[in-house]
Each structure stands twice: as structure tokens, then as C-alpha cells.
Amino acid sequence: MILGNLRSRLTFGVVAVLAIVLALGGAVVAREADRSERQSLDDRLRRTAELLDTVVGDAITKSLPEKDARLNQVLRATGSSLVLWVGGEDVVKAGIPLPARSSPAPLGFSTRQVGERRLRTFAKTFTSADGDALGVRAIQEASSDLRPLERRQGSLERRLLLIGLAMLLLAGLGTWFAADLVLRPLRRLRTATHRIEGDGDLERRVPVDGPGELRSLAGSFNAMLERLGRSAQERNRALEATRRFAADVGHELRTPLTSVQATLSAIDRHPDVDPEVRQMIVGEALAEQRRLVGLLDGLQALARGDANPVDDADVDLAAVAAEAARAFGDRHPEIDLSVRLPDAAVPVRGWEPGLRLIVDNLLQNAARHGRPEGQVRLSVTEASPDVGPRLVVADDGPGIAAEERERIFEPFVRGSGVDRPGSGLGLALVAQQVGHHGASVTIDDASIGGARVTVRFRAT
């Protein structure tokens, strides 16, 4: 409907402008044609009046001339007449008959109505050959009927009007079909946008073709769709993370909260319990409370990682690993941490907090599941032409069974035989950030006896 109105408006505008131009041009042409016709008529009347110059003297001094039949026929054929007035009387008449008059027309050119005729008249006084006016007043008068000229002028104006209307009709049709061709890319753009609106598919793009203005419009529309798509993805991630967080909180916090409640209820019911037993019960409650806090921290980190997109930047993986190793050494001085890092920077395209989260959780997982006061090895390998950088963390614990190495990255899944405290979210957070960075993570056996986790990043 919009394009139809646009095409109609475009056609109407072109026709309106052309109509004004044609009207002005036709008026100028008609006026110039009328002026030219009247100028030619005036010239002919002047020459016709001069035909009497040879006979006026004889008419005044001698006798009236005999009628000239040929002159009379010529004048009648052209709708003209000649009248010679001498002493106030019309002594010579030739051409078309005119009603009787008592006086000649005014000198010069004049237009007057005589009976049913509109006449154009030229009158002049006779001057002798030597330039002296005669004693008797003589006026030569030539007249021509204006009706043929006005009929020709009317016919010209009608032809101009018909030609103008035909041109307007052709111009309107041509503009209508031309507008259809010009607006065809816009029609395709409208169809594509309607499909996107109907399907709600923000991944679809409109065609970028047609004139430069439409290509620019289509490009802007595609950029808007891309921004809307990113916004929708971020919103969906946030909603999904919120739902997942709510479900995980409801599922995982029930047991520690119930345990803490049971411990506090036991203390409340037995205020006279033995101090050693009370101390043991309080210690269990504190352990459950610490587990509860760790679980909440892990769930929040997991939800934030699902909700927030990665802001890509160049990050030095070796520097991130070095900082994580220093912090780990401060937290676990009893662990024998071995770090092997290259001297040069190891650039990785990614999000620095997410990379730090990967290293921290792998180190913490190695410390939790390795031998008490055991060994943990951390290394970063530079990229080669065909292989990207690698991050490796190994421990000397019991390792992870081959059939569990895929499932262990799911939230709250722990390996069989694991009795160390933990939330079950560490490796889930690692898998999450690895996915965000387009990397991959695998688990195999370490040379020091436990599990070795390898994160492979893409080559830059």
C-alpha cells in the first residue's frame, strides 16, 4: 500500500510538473503564433493599401478608375477590401462588400466590429509623389476579416491542447511503469522485512541491491537486525542463565541448608550437650556453611558466564597463568606447584576474566583431587603455525576414569570415588569459558600419576 501510494504520488507529481510546463509552453507558442499571424496580416494590409497609390491621384484630379476585376477577386479570396475616401465619400470599393459607412476608419491600424465581421483595418492619408499633401483629403483604407485568423488560432490552440493531453497521458503511463521498475528493489525490501516480521527470524538479512540509496538503506536495516539479534541473544542467555541459576539453587542448596538447619535444631534442643560434641556439631555446621558459600559463588559465576557475552581482546595467556599461579601458591603453600611458562607473550583472543577463571579452577581442582601436599604442574605452550596455544594442568591424584572424562564437565557431576569437599561446578565453569573462547578441553593421564587437563586454543 505504501509503495502504491508512492508510485501514485510520483506519477502525479511528474504529470503535474509536466502539465505546468506544457501549459506555459503552449501559451507562449500560441501567443507567438497569434502575434506572428497578426503581424503578417498588418504587413499585408499595409501593402494592400499601397495598391491605391497609383490611382488616387487620377481619382482626385481626373476621373474615377474603372473597376479591376482581378484585384477584386484577389481581395475577395483573402477576405480583404480596399476603400478610397475622397472628400468624405467612399469613391472606390474593391474586395468583400462592407456595410455602408459615413466616415472612414481612424488612421493607422484598428480593430472593429462591422456587422458580423471583425475587421482589422489600416488607413492612411494619400501623399503625392513629390511629398506634398493634396488640397483634397484622401484616405486609403485596407481591411481584412479577422475570423479566418481567429479560426486558425483556435484550431492551433485545440491542437496544442490535444498534443499536451496526449503527452501528459504518455508521460503518466511512462512514469507509472518507470516508477514500478525503480521501486521494485524497494518492494523486495518490503517483502523481506514482512517475512522477517512474520517469522521473527532476526538471523535473516534483506537483499542489498538496487540503487545506491536503497543499498544504503538495506545495509542500515541489516545492521539494525544484527544489533537486534545480538540483543535478543543476550536477553535469551540472561533469561536462560536466570532459569538455570534458580533451578540449580533450588536443587543444590536444599541439602546443605537442611543439614545446617538440622545441626542448629540439635543444638537448640540439647543446650546441655557435652562441649566436645557441641564443638563437633558446630564444626560440621561451619563446614556446611562454607560449602554453601562456595556453592553459591560457583552458581553465580556459572550464571554470569552464561549471561554475559565475551568481549574479545588480545590477552597474554602466559601472564594470566603466572598471576593465577602466584595466587594459588599463596592459598596452598603446602602444594608443590611447578610452573613452566615461555619467556615471550602468548597472545590469545578472548576475555581476560574468563581465562583467569579457567586457570584458577583447573588449579583448584588439581589441588582438591590430588594427593595431600602433592604435586601440581602448570604449563603454557606457545602457538605453532598449525597449532594454537595450549594450557596444561596436571596433578598426582587418583585420576579420572576414561568413561567419566566427558561427563565430568557437567554441573554438579563428580568423579566416582571422590570424597573431597566441593561444589561440583569447577570443571563446569572451565567448560563454559572454554566454549566461549572457541577452545577445546580434554582429560588424559598425567605422567605424575593423576589427571592432566589440556585446553587448546585456536591459532591466531
Could you read off the pLDDT tens digit of each residue along the chain, which spans 460 residues? 445 577 778 788 888 888 888 889 888 988 888 888 888 888 888 887 776 666 555 555 554 455 567 667 767 777 777 777 877 777 777 777 777 776 788 888 888 887 777 888 888 887 555 444 445 567 878 888 888 888 888 888 899 889 988 888 888 888 888 777 777 777 777 777 777 666 666 666 666 766 666 677 777 777 777 777 777 776 776 666 566 655 555 545 555 666 667 777 777 777 777 777 777 777 777 766 665 665 566 556 555 555 555 567 889 999 999 998 998 888 888 999 999 999 999 999 888 888 888 898 899 889 888 888 889 999 999 988 788 999 999 999 888 888 888 888 877 666 555 555 555 677 887 888 888 888 999 999 988 888 999 999 987 6
Per-residue model confidence (pLDDT) at position 6: 73
Question: Which backbone phi and psi does 454 adopt, to 5 degrees?
Answer: -120, 125
Q: What does the alpha-carbon distance between residue 190 and residue 186 come to, in Å, rounded to a whole number?
A: 6
- What span, in angstroms and rounded, lies between the C-alpha atoms of 378 and 296? 27
CA separation for the pair 311, 351 (Å, rounded):
6
User: Residue 192 and residue 186: Cα distance in Å, rounded?
Assistant: 10
Looking from the CA of 115 toward its CB, the CA atoms found within 13 Å total 10
- Alpha carbon distance 79, 137 (integer Å): 27
CATH of domain 2-154: 3.30.450
Distances (CA, A) of 441 to 5, 102, 122, 306, 408: 60, 127, 114, 18, 12
Name the fold adopted by 311-456: Heat Shock Protein 90 (3.30.565)
Q: What is the pLDDT of residue 321?
A: 93
What is the separation of C-alpha 93 from the centre of its chain, rounded to a whole number of angstroms?
82
How many CA within 13 A on the CB side of residue 389?
23
| Sign of the four-CA dihedral 5, 8, 11, 15 | negative
CA 169 to chain centre: 34
Domain ranges of the chain: 2-154, 311-456
Task: Please state, in angstroms and rounded to a whole number, the distance separating the CA atoms of residues 88 and 103.
Answer: 6
- Give the bridge partners for 122, in sequence order: 109, 142
Within 13 Å, how many C-alpha atoms sit on residue 267's CB side?
Answer: 16
pTM above 0.85, yes or no: no
Q: Which residues are registered as beta bridge partners of 114?
A: 117
Cβ 259 vs Cβ 283: under 8 Å: no
